[in-house]
Amino acid sequence: MNIALVGAGNIAWHLAMALKNTDSPVKEIYNRNRSSAEELAKEAKAKVVLDLKSFSTEIDIIILAVSDEAINEVSAKLNVKPGQIVIHTSGSTEITILKSYFNDYGVLYPLQTFSKAILIDFKNIPVCVEGSTLEVSHKLELVAKLMSNNVLFVNSAQRLALHIAAVFACNFTNHFYSIAAEILSDNDLNFDLIKPLIKETAEKALIISPKEAQTGPAKRNDQITLKKHIKILEKYADWMILYQKISQDIVKISVKNQASHK
Amino acid sequence: MNIALVGAGNIAWHLAMALKNTDSPVKEIYNRNRSSAEELAKEAKAKVVLDLKSFSTEIDIIILAVSDEAINEVSAKLNVKPGQIVIHTSGSTEITILKSYFNDYGVLYPLQTFSKAILIDFKNIPVCVEGSTLEVSHKLELVAKLMSNNVLFVNSAQRLALHIAAVFACNFTNHFYSIAAEILSDNDLNFDLIKPLIKETAEKALIISPKEAQTGPAKRNDQITLKKHIKILEKYADWMILYQKISQDIVKISVKNQASHK
């Protein structure tokens, strides 16, 4: 199949790289900012298209790797030929956003955190597909399987839940690494110190359930330590509130679990 | 040196294993619950001691691997001979808690999350030491270096900050894996789906700074997606509040960074 790409951001970049050297490489790329499109096109060995109406008739699937709020705008401008499929890559946008613009449409959502600077082995990334028809779903499955060994059908409601879970497990987790980094720096301690802990915490979750893996003062309902920590966090007002709320949540679950074991 | 251990919990267990087959193995173990002491003593090839006053005179260092609130109680009961060093292993307890009980005392704090079920390579764990005198510090350094290649001197204030940073980077992070697991389960999705993301999020933080690694709707200040997520989270009241507070924090930092780049 012949693939075209709208966008040249993180997801566009990683999709193009994942499809490079497969049977369905990205052949054409459009991006609002032309120089970014040219940069990606060079890497992906694709052609830059100068406006959204100019994708060639050979294209089978147009992937909108754009921000959620640009999906409507881009869709309205596209000039799609019969049989061409248009898909978006958004975790939190329903498939039906594309319904009023196209006959055949779908979603291809790779569940991962993408930074241009970091190379990713796409083969292990779960790629969630949803098609407007069984035929579209099947075609998307074929393309997704070129990129990943972990392809699954996920409907729009599930995909939204998956995206929210990902925000907790990835975005918020990373933000907590940032908070740790700042607290360490304020105390003349190197962020490297905490790296083995970050690594082990993630690796544990891959082996035992996070419920079993939970440790720390809140898990032990150790109020003396919790109070000491909160006292120190007074100078970081926002984080003190977070500390209290999350600790309360962990204490609550821990106390409930203990009661149910009695 | 000859080491004795008070306690048979997670930290006691991992310390004993880390010192096994070194020049300073754990020789004697006391634990309130005798059968746990026996279990650990068997693994560590150590002797069980039946009360806190009965450690032999050969012992050079007694490690209190007990809960923070038990440090005073255990210290008061110990019968220490001249030259014996007593240390605790608590992140959030000052070294001076031991001052009124002993002449020579200190702290040995391994920065890691310990579960009995999970084997750990102690060699990479940062071990923070603090001694009541330079001589004690030096002895603790020697013992710590038998366990780990990553030994450093950290004072009590720094150790407390380190412990707080560890709560964010490990305990809270793991709690968010639990939240993700529950949201996935409620939507008939397997926790395995999110494992590559958990792995990649941690690995990124080892390579680039968490500030650079930050992604997601809050980072992009994508209010449409944030609102969608909050709407779904209405049925998880506590988590909705967490979602809002953490997102606000990320948005605030992100907006500040953008302004400073203009």
What is the DSSP secondary-structure string of chain A? --EEEE--SHHHHHHHHHHTTSSS-EEEEE-SSHHHHHHHHHHHT-EE-SSTT---TT--EEEE-S-GGGHHHHHHH--PPTT-EEEE--SSS-GGGGTTT-SEEEEEEE-S---TTS---GGGS-EEEEESSHHHHHHHHHHHHHH-S-EEE--HHHHHHHHHHHIIIIIIHHHHHHHHHHHHHHTT--GGGGHHHHHHHHHHHHHS-HHHH--STTTTT-HHHHHHHHHHGGGSHHHHHHHHHHHHHHHHHHHHHHHHH-
Tell whether A21 and A107 lie within a shared domain. Answer: yes
Per-residue tokens: A89: 């890559």
The per-residue pLDDT for A254 is 86
In what order do the strands lie in the sheet containing A127-131? A47-48, A26-30, A3-6, A61-64, A85-88, A104-110, A127-131, A151-153
A225 contact residues in B (CB cutoff 8 A): 68, 92, 163
**Residue B119, CA distances (Å) to A157, B10, B13 in order:** 39, 11, 10
Beta bridge partners of A29: A5, A48
Q: State the average pLDDT over residues A104-128.
A: 89
Q: Are A91 and A110 in contact (CB under 8 A)?
A: no
Contact A209 B183 (CB under 8 A): no
Tell whether B142 and B177 lie within a shared domain. Answer: no
Contact A245 B250 (CB under 8 A): no
Tell whether A126 and A248 lie within a shared domain. Answer: no
For A116, the closest chain B residue by CA position comes to B213
Tell whether A140 and A166 lie within a shared domain. Answer: no
Q: Which position has the token pair 């992070």? A: B173
Question: Chain B closest CA to A77's CA: distance in Å?
Answer: 22
pLDDT at residue A87 above 60? yes
List, for chain B, all residue ranges whose pLDDT scores fall below the cut of 70: 261-262
Domain of residue B9, residue span: 3-154
Tell whether B75 and B118 lie within a shared domain. Answer: yes
The per-residue pLDDT for B261 is 63
B243 contact residues in A (CB cutoff 8 A): 164, 167-168
Contact B158 A189 (CB under 8 A): yes
Question: Chain A closest CA to B3's CA: distance in Å?
Answer: 26
Tell whether B148 and B46 lie within a shared domain. Answer: yes
The per-residue pLDDT for A261 is 64
Q: Are A225 and B68 in contact (CB under 8 A)?
A: yes
pLDDT at residue A262 above 80? no
CATH of the domain at A173: 1.10.1040.20
Tell whether A227 and A138 lie within a shared domain. Answer: no
CB atoms within 10 A of CB B157: 11
Tell whether A119 and A33 lie within a shared domain. Answer: yes
Which residues are within 8 A (CB) of A83 and not within 5 positions of it... i.e. 6 or more apart?
A: A60, A104
Element (H, E) at B63: strand B61-64
The per-residue pLDDT for B255 is 85
A214 contact residues in B (CB cutoff 8 A): 171, 174-175, 178
Query: Across the interface, which of B68, B206, B238 has its CB nearest the CB of A199?
Result: B206
Q: Which position has the token pair 């699954």? A: A152
The residue among A231 and B122 whose pLDDT is bigger is: A231
Tell whether B111 and B197 lie within a shared domain. Answer: no
Eight-class DSSP state of B117: T
Among A131, A154, A177, identify where a domain stops. Answer: A154
Q: State the average pLDDT over residues A157-176.
A: 97
Contact A212 B176 (CB under 8 A): no
Beta bridge partners of A6: A30, A64
* Nearest alpha carbon to residue A107 among A150, A70, A139: A139
Q: Are A174 and B198 in contact (CB under 8 A)?
A: no
pLDDT at residue A113 above 90? no
Per-residue tokens: B36: 């746990």
Label residue A72 by pLDDT band (50, 70, 90): very high
The residue among A262 and A14 whose pLDDT is bigger is: A14
Query: How far, in Å, CA of B181 to CA of A98, rounded?
Result: 30
Contact B187 A158 (CB under 8 A): yes
Query: How far, in Å, CA of B262 to CA of B259, rounded?
Result: 5
A188 contact residues in B (CB cutoff 8 A): 158
Tell whether A7 and A107 lie within a shared domain. Answer: yes
B173 contact residues in A (CB cutoff 8 A): 173, 176-177, 198, 201-202
Query: Across the interface, which of A171, A195, A243 has its CB nearest the CB of B218?
Result: A171
Question: Taken in order A164, A166, A172, A173, is the CA torsion positive or negative?
Answer: positive
Which tens digit of pLDDT belongs to each residue from A7-27? 999 899 999 999 999 999 999
Query: Across the interface, which of A169, A201, A217 has its CB nearest the CB of B194?
Result: A169
Among B154, B189, B205, identify where a domain stops. Answer: B154
Q: Are A110 and A19 in contact (CB under 8 A)?
A: no
Question: Chain B closest CA to A103's CA: distance in Å?
Answer: 26
Read off the pTM. 0.92
Tell whether A42 and A141 lie within a shared domain. Answer: yes
Q: Which amino acid is residue B108, in one-letter code?
A: L
Contact B238 A217 (CB under 8 A): no
A92 contact residues in B (CB cutoff 8 A): 217, 225, 228-229
For A227, the closest chain B residue by CA position comes to B92
At B31 the three-state DSSP class reads coil
The per-residue pLDDT for A179 is 98
The per-residue pLDDT for B260 is 72
The per-residue pLDDT for B191 is 97
CATH of the domain at A55: 3.40.50.720
Question: Chain B closest CA to A257's CA: distance in Å?
Answer: 14
Tell whether A124 and A169 lie within a shared domain. Answer: no
Among A88, A122, A154, identify where a domain stops. Answer: A154
**What is the domain count for chain A?**
2
Contact B225 A92 (CB under 8 A): yes
